[in-house]
Amino acid sequence: MIYKGLIYSMVVLLFFTGCKKEDNNSSLGPKNLKEYLVKKCAYVHEINGFYVVASDETPKESNGSSSKEIWTEAIKLFSNYLDQDEDGVIDSDKNELADGLSKNMIFCVGSEKFVNALSESSFTGDVENTIGFMTDKWPYDKSYTGKGWTLDQLSSSTWRPEPFNAIWEETYHTVTEALSRIDDSFKFTEGKLLRVTMDADIADGTYKTEVQNKEENGNYDKVTAVNEYIHQIWAISNCGQESKLNSHQTKALKFMKEKGVDLRVNPKYAHQLGNTVKPVK
């Protein structure tokens, strides 16, 4: 997306066991992922084995909100995604998604430097991806409710709501990335339904990625593009503006609904799933 002159793509930082050796060879260092996160992060929350963590750095694009406040909203969003009936427990039809998050993802709030350092640790074990919210680059607006805006059509990968809160996008990307890891039909690769649908939208001239690709020096890959495409569709659906989607986008949304990721967000959601590991309450 373009926001204040910058492009904001989904940041997926791949890391694998053994890519960096630091404290794990020390008898005094942490022995597992949880201990490592507690040592390195100011804030750590766990939902069914899925970690949401943050540094205590001061955000630069947050309108005065602290890193802790952004982390707290991320926890609330993940909780609401998994608890659509809002009874304070993971919905039975979201158990598989919750497991996919715990086995494949970590969500990190912090500066680009902090997120990169965390993603390179060998303590991540079998977890494959860290998705980060970059507090030194990305916009956070705590007043954002997912509603209150309109659009004529979805025609570009650079479109985002105005005003915008990027924590909604990055947490949703985390959910769809996790689902793509456990459901082959939901992958973003060539030949899969979501990719075919986006490619058809582009071929018809009704959806464009050229501007974003240019801004990213030709490195805007199709896998990332699909995940951003479905985020846009979800944001429009969550706002109650499905009628603005074209036939390709409506097809993608239908598939998203079938897979259980056309998720509703209640800004007044009252629960917090899981447990805060750090700071200790």
For 73-96, the pLDDT digits (tens) are 999 999 999 999 999 999 999 999
Whether pLDDT at 124 is above 70: no
Rounded average pLDDT over 150-162? 95
Q: How far from 8 is each of 12, 61, 197, 257, CA to CA, in Å?
A: 12, 13, 23, 26
Report whether pLDDT(3) > 90.
no
Q: Residue 201: which of 221, 161, 229, 173 has the closest Cα?
A: 229
Least confident of 113-122, 168-177, 196-205: 113-122
pTM for the predicted model, two decimal places: 0.90
Domain count, the chain: 1
Among 23-32, 134-143, 215-224, which is the least confidently predicted range? 23-32
- The closest of 172, 181, 147, 219 to 78, measured between CA atoms, is 172
For residue 253, the Cα-to-chain-centroid distance in whole angstroms is 18
Place 113 in a pLDDT band, splitting at 50, 70 and 90. very high
- Please return the burial class of 268, using the count of CB atoms within 10 Å of its CB with bins 0-12, 13-18 and 19+: exposed
The boundaries of the domain holding residue 119 are: 2-278
Task: Identify the burial level of 50 via C-beta atoms within 10 angstroms of its C-beta, where 0-12 means exposed, 13-18 middle and 19 or more buried.
Answer: buried
Rounded Cα gap, residues 34 and 231, in angstroms: 30
The share of the chain scoring above pLDDT 70, in percent, equals: 87
Q: What is the mean pLDDT of residues 100-128?
A: 84
Rounded-to-integer distance, Cα 229 and Cα 224, Å? 9
Q: Which residue has the higher pLDDT, 28 or 145?
A: 145
Three-state DSSP at 263 gives: coil
Cα(192)–Cα(53) distance, integer angstroms: 32
Mean pLDDT of the chain: 89
Using the predicted structure, report yes or no on whether residue 4 has a pLDDT greater than 50: no
Mean pLDDT of the 48-61 span: 96
